[in-house]
Amino acid sequence: MGASTENGGSSASANSKLAEADQLKQEANTAFKEKHWAKAVAGYTRALEANPDSAILYANRAAAHIRLENFGSAIEDGTKAVELDPNYIKGYFRRADANFAFGKAHLALADFRRAAKASPRDPDLRKKLAACEKEVKRLKFEEALAAPEAEYVPAWQQVDLASMTIEDNYKGPSMEGSATDGYTLTLEFIMAMIESFRKQQKIHRRFAFQIVMEAQSALQALPTLVDIPIEDDAHFTVCGDIHGQFYDLLNIFEMNGFPSESNPYLFNGDFVDRGSFSVEVILTLFAFKLLYPDSLHLARGNHESKSMNLIYGFDGEVKAKYTDTMVDLFRETFCWLPLAHVLNKRVFVVHGGLFARDGVKLEDLRKVDRFREPPEEGLMCEALWSDPQPSDGRAPSKRGIGVAFGPDVTRDFLTTNSLDLVVRSHEVKDEGYAIDHNGYCITVFSAPNYVDQMGNKGAFIRFTGKDMTPQFTTYDAVPHPEIRPMAYANPFLGSMLGM
């Protein structure tokens, strides 16, 4: 009798747990449908605590992680789903989605093929398989055509500005000068260019190429780690990710003033991709960099890279608005962007975050050879990809690259380098910024309502030289023309990310 009661109690408890997990799953599903991705992840996590053997819950959580760009976590969840149920097609599907979005099409292909074999009539799956096969073929073709390093001709050497005639029917803004004597960039030209961009008009390719080529020369002259002094009575503004949201960039300038010698800025990476006005953003920032080289500073983000630009839209946008040669010119120019800045010897500013080992000094960063595509490990990779975590120590990154670093890591880095604060970007925040690690690590993200669906505010930080205390300004997104984010990206990726 006692044993029967015990078994009955155990069964009732198990049923109760399953019912709890199902209720939590339904709540998480609702959050997912409403595009509250972080809330969905938290809900699926609670459901898994009640039912840790559910392949469905892991696959669902993987889908939410993908929307948050936590591709490492999504791959782990997809793997766990297929371990629990090798016949569960969505587990392979989700892992493939995450690998494709992470730029690992060759890994995604095997999972897409396995899923398609088990479910051959699924139209969405067939489209994704075809897109992945096409991408793998393109990568192999590109690899086969790649010239040996000794034979490589830089894009800037392939550009002949003198041959780019300004046609008589061109009505857009023009730089001062002439084709014979050369053209000079002025503030008047920049402001006219911005107004043309606002009306969705292009500038002539002659001027666009000149801006990028001159920006490359200016960036080459900079060190990998840039020191920026700020006078006691001066101010300095730091902005985070812009991601091709040109009209929100203009809103920042309308609120805080255009860049000038008395109104300096640092834009902390990820100028391009996602938003469909990335060309307008980067040409505007490069132009101001040329006009005010000591007052407009640019740092490299993880999206200033070939692999990200191929996937998330910048390559396609540049080709649509200009030429393939300009794509190559941007790639080379991005490789010369500095990796980090130090403000007034007190504030360390980097796109991603800190490092996988203790004791990293500023001198170590100064020695990094940055003219390359980002590697998958090491200081350069971590500077571009890492994120803070609430607990001490380090952990594998939810992104699948870089590292998650805790408050103790931040304290150690600041103490080692006699610094006061770390400022980084790289992550969407509801209020546009977040203060972590007992106030020693700040995230600033300047693209409000990211990809037209996150609902977040944007923010920028203003410092004054005397005390270097951060002051935050937050703002909502402003209207933009009816061109959706990811309009120039792989259509498969846009559908996968809910756009």
> With 70 as the cut, is the pLDDT of residue 3 above it?
no
Percent of the chain with pLDDT over 70: 95
Q: What is the mean pLDDT of residues 382-390?
A: 98
How many Cβ atoms are within 10 Å of 282's Cβ, its own excluded? 25
> With 50 as the cut, is the pLDDT of residue 264 above it?
yes
> With 50 as the cut, is the pLDDT of residue 1 above it?
no
> With 80 as the cut, is the pLDDT of residue 251 above it?
yes
Q: What is the mean pLDDT of residues 221-230?
A: 98
Residue 300 pLDDT: 98
pLDDT digits (tens, 9 = 90+) for 458-481: 999 999 999 999 999 999 999 999
Cβ within 8 Å of residue 385, ≥6 positions away = 302, 352, 353, 374, 397, 399, 401, 402, 426
> With 80 as the cut, is the pLDDT of residue 309 above it?
yes
Residue 9 pLDDT: 63
Residue 2 pLDDT: 46
Q: What is the mean pLDDT of residues 226-241?
A: 98
Q: One of 243, 303, 426, 437 is an active-site residue; which one?
A: 303
- The answer to whether 48 touches 57, Cβ cutoff 8 Å, is yes
Q: What is the mean pLDDT of residues 53-77?
A: 95
Diameter of the chain by CA atoms? 103
Among 118-122, 309-313, 331-335, the range with the most confident prediction by mean pLDDT is 331-335
CA distances from 465 to 68, 282, 308, 457 (A): 36, 28, 35, 26
Amino acid at 327: V
Residue 480 catalytic? Answer: no
Quote the pTM value: 0.92
Query: What are the structure tokens assigned to 385, written together?
Result: 């990809």
Higher-pLDDT residue of 249 and 9 is 249
pLDDT digits (tens, 9 = 90+) for 89-133: 999 999 999 999 888 899 999 999 998 888 888 888 888 899 899
> With 50 as the cut, is the pLDDT of residue 202 above it?
yes
Confidence of residue 496 (pLDDT cuts 50, 70, 90): low
Percent of the chain with pLDDT over 90: 80
Query: What are the structure tokens assigned to 329, written together?
Result: 């010119």
Among 66-75, 122-131, 344-353, the range with the most confident prediction by mean pLDDT is 344-353
- The answer to whether 485 touches 498, Cβ cutoff 8 Å, is no
**Backbone φ and ψ of 58, nearest 5°:** -65, -40
- The answer to whether 293 touches 302, Cβ cutoff 8 Å, is no
Cα separation of 425 and 311, whole Å? 21
Q: What is the mean pLDDT of residues 124-152?
A: 80
> With 60 as the cut, is the pLDDT of residue 349 above it?
yes
Residue with token string 């709890």: 20
How many Cβ atoms are within 10 Å of 332's Cβ, its own excluded? 16
pLDDT digits (tens, 9 = 90+) for 159-192: 989 889 999 999 999 999 998 889 999 999 999 9
> With 70 as the cut, is the pLDDT of residue 24 above it?
yes
Cβ within 8 Å of residue 100, ≥6 positions away = 108, 128, 131, 132, 135, 492, 493, 496
Closest CA to 259 of 225, 287, 217: 287
Give Cα 412 to chain centroid, integer Å.
Answer: 26
Taken in order of first residue, the domains within the chain and their CATH numbers are 2-145 (1.25.40.10), 176-496 (3.60.21.10)
DSSP result, 274-332: SSTTHHHHHHHHHHHHHHSTTTEEE---TTSSHHHHHHHSHHHHHHHHS-HHHHHHHHH
> With 70 as the cut, is the pLDDT of residue 235 above it?
yes
Higher-pLDDT residue of 174 and 134 is 174
Residue-averaged pLDDT of the chain: 93
Residue 179 pLDDT: 86
Q: What length is written for the chain?
A: 499
> With 80 as the cut, is the pLDDT of residue 497 above it?
no
